[in-house]
Structure 1
């Protein structure tokens, strides 16, 4: 990257010549001209620091090579080589002189091995530079070809960090996030490359992007950094792929495209990245990397906006996501991935209790089936349909078949492995569930949801101490993650650690803006123990139910823990009638161990197809 590029100025061929100078510098010295480190540190070096002269690092180079490299790396482009032809003339002259010196030296027969090696390297660098200028100039891609073979043997994993929104408009944040998502999605489609999933890389959003530090934390070989800016209808996307072990740049490029080309450019970036790690792509791999779910740029931007709000995981976010996904399929009725997004949003609206199952079930099902109909190879479509089959149809064989189809379509999908693991947990296949959740965690180690799922799987397997330890680790990542707080409260209570359970409940209430209610919970515990806390919680849910939907399963759990079997079974029956998705945990939930042998409970399991 040239100084003018770092400043966001207009570029010309002199910027490319600067990049070539950086390549020649590294070839001749084995060091990066401007060092490694964070993007900010490298930018500062490019703008303000002069590299150590090549002759000081490698005294055996011919002197002319030193001043050629220095002229290429001039900060002021007016002092740089002005054209490739000017540079080519100097390089040819130096190459001719170097070749002549080599012939003369060989006649003497006495030469140091180190000098021969370094002069040979210099000659190779000059020869490569001349060849580049003769056959066509793209320094970043040329650098990739020079060093790609060396890299490909060691680079097997990548983290795509959230692209920085370099536009002045914060409303374009969805675009930066969407490009990041699109590249991750493309890269996961091909084998032989472990790709960190979205939840993990987005935990670094807005933080210092020290590629080497983050790469080591995530145990990956390479890290992609990116910036995106929109000016009018033009997008500028800057990418840099950094090798973690030494901080060198494996590949990088700048794309200046129309907004309407956004779908294509994401595929191009993914292909360039994968090609830098594996120089020869098969036709199938290329097809997977450059696959477009839609050719309509407006539909794609609407989808990205829907995805942006979906990832907020709030009621208002889900509602906005539905609006945008609907607009996307109106623009492109064949957009399978937008239908899958619509299905997932309805699924989680119901599962989170924001809407009744009756309000979302059919919408989720029709959207998921349409997604599969439009693109039977799309893993997201099969995941969406699997969740409908599991949570609302209670079609267990059908759900498992869809999960397996999704994993077959994309074995690297952390989401597919996560939800299949959750499915296996519900059916009591704990060892298989543990395996799937571990695969999911390998792809997405910092996902709060996946780490919570692992803790819940241990809880449902009655491994309460292990569950508590896992959920503590999850809360160490984010002490305010409510699903993990609810899960650890249940594990504490089931393990007889009622003081700890009450403490977790108080934290949730305080974080939700109810410190007075948190104090009341503490008072209830002092007066009546944990049953007093449960009784107050039951009264609170009754009040909430007057204003909105409360899943009957949540009420059944409280009655079961209070030892009221009759009411527990009655509310489970209500959950069955309402198709409450939480009822799918009934087979393995320890809260119902005291009523498990009751004929009414066993009959409910049979009606749900969960007796096997």
Structure 2
């Protein structure tokens, strides 16, 4: 091979296919600076994604190669302008209705259009959370596209008067700003099919304009009409808007709306998936105990999958539970891949799949999935946090620390950011940063006097003695309050007390702590225990690859 490597990289089928569909191969002139530019033109023409631009026959390719060999210019191959990636962001639709209570409905239409586009593998579609930041924005299409890293923008506005609905949508190329396609839709809404017919037509039109091939399976998924009547679909849209709110009283309304909708239409899978997600966030936000929320999550998830095996969000939740709760790596990967087959543009599924791959010591694949994930939802604070954590789990301490410190500038007391800074800085032996970070990520508030004592101990006697002081306080706290195994294990290791660290790791296994899944990742949090027979025994029980 001219470059000594393949033009498209990927250790896993999914990442390789994505590279082939979405990425351009690196110029041979970058990899082999002494190469004739004309040979680069030939190779790039042979690899172009547009069939019409490739060599029509092997004879044409042979003639150009022969011309290069004789010191002549190739006849067919020409330098060509790079084609823009089919990357797209659907901005929040403007509600032109006099009644602003219709906003949830307009948002639901926008989400369904976005969701249909996300099902097309040939497109890279930015997630809702990132585009939501541009609601009511006065920024230009070009500026928004640049911030999101896309080439195309979809804009829309809608009105709803009773059962009458009007929608205007346009597709714009960002640079140069060019109107590519637009259409208006107006009709009475008698049933849910009327709404979905419009949404399906929009997605197909956009894909056609961008020359994005829609596979038969993708077409089938896009054209599915929900098994729900108009009233139930309306309740579903309201409930989804409640779930994203985050406040306890509003999330409670989401549970009530979904439960009421199920009573009217018990055969529609997204209602159960919505309930599972709502209960998951109730538990995540500490609004409900795991003993109460957990069974609700599992029950509703199983119902959703039984009713609709093609529901992407149900497979994502199933993958997450298999990873963090059941410790079933094979099932988790199978469910992640199923979710991504249905929705290849699901940023969260890709981001969490990356972490599963790190658990399985498949770092190259993990980093490819991590890159895809952040490109699909670049402005989502949670995705940024997940990205930093993935880099840390991968052992990329410098990159993780740099991004964490950048995010910390906007939120200095953030528990999760300081926790990741503590670990990354320790691995890099930047102990001043470790001591600053630990102040904000202990399970209890550290008073000024106590912090000053720890800092003074560090300056006078070093990091090991300082952490001995920290674990003393953690031990006192753990006598009356629950403490996660990681809080104790990592810090006992820094304090030079591996036996106590191992005792707490065993407690984590007994408690089935979800963080146990990360004990052998490339981050090497617990490398001081890797030779301990008790550590090896736990890894074998969890079916984890040994470090």
Normalising by structure 2, report the TM-score: 0.70
Aligned partner (choices 437, 444, 452) of residue 523 of structure 1 = 452
Please state how far the C-alpha of 1:434 moved relative to its aligned partner.
0.6
User: Which residues in structure 2 correspond to 1:494-505 (within 5 Å)?
Assistant: 494-504=427-437
User: Does residue 315 of structure 2 align to residue 382 of structure 1?
Assistant: yes
CA–CA separation in structure 2 for the residues paired with 1:474 and 1:238: 38
Q: CA RMSD in A?
A: 3.7
Does the CA contact (< 8 Å) of 1:407 and 1:413 recur in 2?
yes
Does the CA contact (< 8 Å) of 1:241 and 1:252 recur in 2?
no
Does the CA contact (< 8 Å) of 1:383 and 1:403 recur in 2?
yes
Which residue of 1 is the match for residue 173 of structure 2? 243
User: Which residues in structure 2 correspond to 1:429-444 (within 5 Å)?
Assistant: 429-444=362-377
Does the CA contact (< 8 Å) of 1:237 and 1:254 recur in 2?
yes
Aligned partner (choices 522, 526, 530) of residue 592 of structure 1 = 526
User: Which residues in structure 2 correspond to 1:506-585 (within 5 Å)?
Assistant: 519=448, 522-529=451-458, 530-531=466-467, 532-533=469-470, 535-536=472-473, 545=482, 551-585=484-518
CA–CA separation in structure 2 for the residues paired with 1:282 and 1:209: 35
Which residue of 1 is the match for residue 118 of structure 2? 188
Which one has the bigger helix percentage? 1
Does the CA contact (< 8 Å) of 1:505 and 1:518 recur in 2?
no
Aligned partner (choices 184, 194, 199) of residue 266 of structure 1 = 199
Aligned partner (choices 89, 99, 102) of residue 159 of structure 1 = 89
CA–CA separation in structure 1 for the residues paired with 2:473 and 2:137: 42
CA–CA separation in structure 2 for the residues paired with 1:266 and 1:228: 12
Structure-2 change in CA distance of 1:287 and 1:404 (3 Å) = closer
SS at match of 1:594: helix
SS at match of 2:529: coil
CA–CA separation in structure 2 for the residues paired with 1:441 and 1:401: 22
Please state how far the C-alpha of 1:159 moved relative to its aligned partner.
0.6
Does the CA contact (< 8 Å) of 2:355 and 2:393 recur in 1?
no
Aligned partner (choices 446, 461, 469) of residue 402 of structure 2 = 469
Does the CA contact (< 8 Å) of 1:309 and 1:317 recur in 2?
yes
Structure-2 change in CA distance of 1:380 and 1:200 (3 Å) = same
User: Which residues in structure 2 correspond to 1:119-268 (within 5 Å)?
Assistant: 156-166=86-96, 173-249=103-179, 250-255=181-186, 257-258=188-189, 261=192, 262-268=195-201
1:414-460: per-residue Cα shift (whole Å, max 9, x none)?
Answer: 23222211111222322221111112223223333333333223322
* Runs of at least 5 residues in structure 2 that lack an aligned partner in the other structure: 1-82, 459-465
Aligned partner (choices 379, 391, 416) of residue 324 of structure 2 = 391
Return the index of the structure with the highest Cα Rg. 1
User: Which residues in structure 2 correspond to 1:411-450 (within 5 Å)?
Assistant: 411-450=344-383
CA–CA separation in structure 1 for the residues paired with 2:440 and 2:235: 37
Structure-2 change in CA distance of 1:590 and 1:331 (3 Å) = farther
CA–CA separation in structure 2 for the residues paired with 1:504 and 1:371: 42
SS at match of 1:253: strand
Which residue of 2 is the match for residue 339 of structure 1? 272
SS at match of 1:457: helix
Please state how far the C-alpha of 1:538 moved relative to its aligned partner.
6.1
Please state how far the C-alpha of 1:400 moved relative to its aligned partner.
1.1
Normalising by structure 1, report the TM-score: 0.64
Which residue of 2 is the match for residue 329 of structure 1? 262
Which residue of 2 is the match for residue 50 of structure 1? none
Q: How many residue pairs were aligned?
A: 452
1:170-189: per-residue Cα shift (whole Å, max 9, x none)?
Answer: 65554344333222111111
Please state how far the C-alpha of 1:413 moved relative to its aligned partner.
2.6
